Structure 1
Amino acid sequence: MLQVSEGKTETLGLLYERYKRRLFGFFYQLGCDRQQSEDLVQETFMRVLRYRKTYTNDKNFMAWLFHIGRNVFNTHYSKQNRQGPQVELADNRMEFGAAEVELAFDRSHNTRQLEKALNSLTLENKELIVLNKFKEMRYKEIAEVVGCTEGAARTRTHRALQKLKTIFFELEKSER
């Protein structure tokens, strides 16, 4: 990114190839469909190019990139006077049969259970899981973010996942 900020804009393509998947996943996890997510990734990199001079060596590039992506997402949905993407179950029933609707309902239920379980974790454990599973960061990258060794990041992440699993299944039992 330092090269891009110095005017070597041809190197932006490398950054795009390296980070487009993570950014796409970010938008997709926020509820955007495939096309919207792709459009928002493109807009994010257009802004990276536009604001390249604001990047400095002391900034974590991924954090800076995701900050821009978050602003792109918020701008996109504020223009449409909405809080964000909306799921419309009526449309899904038209396109799918009863079995697919039931499967979608089960997935939705499991997602809500997972959100409850994640929210009951400590901030440190929640952060480790999001970085590892949702943002697909390697243990070395996680270690840099949280300030520990790679081995400690691996151990802490494993323990956090075990806690999440325990809480998730406890919530399932309590609902029965």
Structure 2
Amino acid sequence: MNALTDNALMLKVKAGDLDRMGLLFERHYKPLFGFLYRMTADRESSEDMVQNVFLRMLKYRHTFKGDGEFRTWMYHLARNVLNDHHKGNKRQAGPLEQVSGQVADEAPESSMDKEEQLHLLNRALNGLSEEHREILVLSRYQELSYSEIAEVLRISEANVRVRIHRAMARLKTVYLKLAD
């Protein structure tokens, strides 16, 4: 049963086998939450939005054709939920919260440097425009291919490459300013 692809599972859901949605939820909850959290920096809202994405999957299951990647369709729905969230809140997300499992006195110097670098990177990422942050999260954190990102954003692959290049350059600039 677990050997079914995401597309095959979603086609079964589309055909009325709604129990298969649970397996899709198990497979995609964490990456979807990660995407939404990196876009909002709000744990509670991200949890709610994941639920909304899966509700929309059920509601709009008739739109899934099965000829494209399931993940692409899922992230397209997630972007719509995220846009609705932003419209409802009418505010930009605050700085990303960095949760640390170590106490400063107990951490070795090199570990603190890595933790500090990660914190700076998260702050720099949050300092980007939503467009730049989204494309970097999709490519670097969610590991979508350029062609998948092009489908999700409904732009060309060449445009994806350009946007990623620009976003990375902007991220580097913001990171270096924060590191000074």
So what's the TM-score if we normalise by structure 2? 0.55
User: What SS does structure 2 have at the residue aligned with 1:57?
Assistant: coil
1:85 has 2:93 as partner: yes
Aligned to 1:24: 33
4+ runs deviating over 3 angstroms: 129-133, 142-146
SS in 1 for 2:66: coil
SS of residue in 2 equivalent to 1:62: helix
Q: Please state how far the C-alpha of 1:77 moved relative to its aligned partner.
A: 2.1
CA distance in 2 between counterparts of 1:108 and 1:10 reads 40
Deviation at 1:110, TM superposition (A): 6.3
The structure-2 alpha-carbon separation of the partners of 1:109 and 1:31, relative to structure 1 and needing over 3 Å to count, comes to closer
Look up the match of 1:11: 20
Equivalent residues, number = 130
Secondary structure of 2:40's partner?
Answer: coil
Partner residue of 2:124 out of 111, 119, 133: 111
Partner residue in 2 for 1:134: 141
The amino acid of 1:28's aligned partner reads Y
Alignment correspondent of 1:53: 62
**Alpha carbons 1:48, 1:68 under 8 Å: kept:** yes
- SS of residue paired to 1:59: coil
Q: Which runs of 5+ in 2 are unaligned?
A: 1-9, 97-115, 150-163
| Partner residue in 1 for 2:101 | none
- Say if 1:22 and 1:136, in contact at 8 Å, map to a contact too: no
What residue number does 1:43 align with? 52
Cα–Cα, structure 1 residues 78 and 34, in superposed 2: closer, same or farther, change >3 Å?
same
Distance 1:15 1:29 in 2: 21
What residue number does 2:81 align with? 72
Query: Equivalents in 2 of 1:35, 1:50: separation in Å?
Result: 23
d(CA) in 2 for partners of 1:132, 1:76: 22
Bigger Rg, structure 1 or 2:
1
Alignment partner of 1:62 is 2:62? no
Flag the 1:132–1:144 CA change in 2: closer, same or farther, 3 A: same
Structure 1 residue 144: Cα displacement? 7.9
- Give 1:107 shift: 1.8
Unaligned runs of 5+ in 1: 89-102, 120-126, 147-159
